[in-house]
């Protein structure tokens, strides 16, 4: 009995010495909690080829960023009509001739934007939807997609969200598995779960509150990751990314060396077409730089081939 206890204690002490003495292992543990930037996303990474050619100057001169990837929208950080960040849908010229058309959308804050192109039957066949929250009117905007996920300015549906209790919305995302929308309310903080009616109809949707720990601090940005079915929120001041369960429980904290204030946040498939389709990266739009910036990030431990850090 004593020999067994002594052997166990010796094994524990040796393990502790190895752990403390191996500086590379300690370094690897710290690296594993930090996100890795894949690329700065350019407009031509997210728009189809027919938007360019002789009309490229129309799009590139619009002063916006392609966000979210695949939705054919522009995030305008210096919207000339309002003087504040906004969102505009992009339509190519008819028959490849003419000029590109930009349709500004009513949105008080583009951080409250969500794209559903992953639900069953939605991807690429005209069933995707872009959601925006207009807090000034208390409305949820749902914009239907056309073929290849291009959004249709004539296909806007509005649902009233009066009485939802949202005080300071700072992010919105959607779970494509069940169609539930989540809205981050910085007041509290908390997350509001908006559950649609059958057929994913949001008129008269049920709203419930998910309290969050106050220790998370000031939050901005909310995204659902289909790869692990968790919610993610950002603390911009502390440059931290929090992984949460759908019940609001903190699972993990990541170091997030972001620059600028988040203006959009979403998980979407990798822009590298050689990656498996189940690989999701985090895309973040910020006001960093003169015209803002969209960056693509990989989380340590994800399915992405880029999640294997050299230091690990």
Residues 86-111 have a mean pLDDT of 82
Closest CA to 119 of 55, 184, 65, 181: 181
What's the average model confidence in pLDDT over 98-122?
A: 82
| 53, pLDDT greater than 50 | yes
Using the predicted structure, report yes or no on whether residue 149 has a pLDDT greater than 80: no
Q: Which domains, from first to last, does the chain contain?
A: 41-306 (2.120.10)
What CA–CA distance (Å, rounded) separates 141 from 105?
Answer: 9
pLDDT at site 161: 73
Within a 10 A sphere around the Cβ of 265, how many other Cβ atoms? Answer: 27
Which of 284, 279, 282 lies closest to 303 in space, CA to CA? 279
What is the rounded distance in angstroms from the CA atom of residue 242 to the CA atom of residue 254? Answer: 6
Summarize the confidence of residues 121-139 as an average pLDDT: 74
pLDDT confidence band for 255 (50 / 70 / 90): very high
Please give the pLDDT value at position 167: 87
> Mean of the pLDDT values across residues 232-258?
96
pTM of the model: 0.84
- How does residue 203 score in pLDDT terms, banded at 50, 70 and 90? confident
pLDDT at 209 over 80: yes
Contact present, 88 and 102 (Cβ < 8 Å): yes
Longest dimension (CA), the chain: 87
Q: 169-191, pLDDT tens digit by residue?
A: 999 999 998 899 999 999 989 99
Following CA atoms 142, 148, 154, 155 in sequence, which dihedral angle do they give, to the nearest 10 degrees?
-30
- Position 76 confidence tier, pLDDT thresholds 50, 70, 90: confident
Report the run of H or E that residue 44 belongs to, with start and end: helix 43-46
Residue 120 confidence (pLDDT) = 61
Which range has highest mean pLDDT (8-22, 49-63, 129-143)? 129-143
Neighbour-count burial of 103, counting CB atoms closer than 10 A to its CB (0-12 exposed, 13-18 middle, 19+ buried)? middle
| 171 phi-psi bin (left φ>0, alpha ψ -120 to 50, beta other) | left
Give the mean pLDDT of 31-55: 79
Indicate the average pLDDT of the chain. 80
């Amino acid at each position: 009995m004593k020999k067994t206890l002594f052997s166990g204690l010796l094994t524990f002490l040796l393990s502790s010495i190895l752990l403390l003495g191996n500086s590379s292992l300690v370094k690897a543990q710290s690296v594993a909690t930090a996100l890795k930037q894949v690329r700065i996303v350019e407009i031509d990474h997210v728009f189809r080829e027919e938007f360019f050619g002789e009309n490229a100057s129309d799009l590139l001169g619009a002063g916006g960023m392609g966000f979210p990837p695949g939705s054919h929208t522009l995030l305008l950080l210096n919207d000339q009509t309002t003087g504040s960040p906004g969102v505009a849908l992009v339509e190519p010229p008819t028959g490849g001739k003419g000029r590109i058309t930009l349709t500004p959308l009513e949105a008080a804050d583009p951080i409250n934007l969500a794209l559903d192109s992953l639900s069953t039957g939605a991807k690429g066949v005209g069933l995707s939807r872009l959601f925006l929250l207009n807090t000034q009117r208390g409305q949820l905007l749902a914009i239907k997609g056309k073929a290849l996920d291009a959004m249709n300015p004539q296909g806007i549906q509005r649902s009233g969200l009066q009485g939802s209790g949202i005080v300071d919305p700072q992010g919105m995302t959607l779970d494509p598995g069940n169609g539930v929308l989540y809205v981050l309310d910085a007041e509290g903080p908390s997350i509001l779960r908006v559950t649609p009616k059958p057929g994913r109809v949001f008129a008269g949707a049920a709203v419930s509150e998910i309290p969050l720990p106050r220790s998370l601090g000031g939050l901005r940005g909310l995204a659902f990751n289909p790869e692990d079915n968790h919610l993610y929120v950002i603390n911009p001041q502390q440059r931290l990314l929090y992984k949460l369960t759908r019940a609001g429980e903190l699972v993990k904290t990541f170091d997030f060396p972001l620059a600028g204030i988040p203006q959009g946040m979403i998980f979407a498939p990798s822009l590298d077409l050689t990656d498996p389709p189940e690989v999701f990266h985090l895309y973040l739009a910020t006001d960093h730089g003169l015209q803002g910036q969209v960056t693509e990030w990989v989380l340590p431990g994800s399915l992405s081939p880029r999640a294997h850090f050299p230091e690990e």
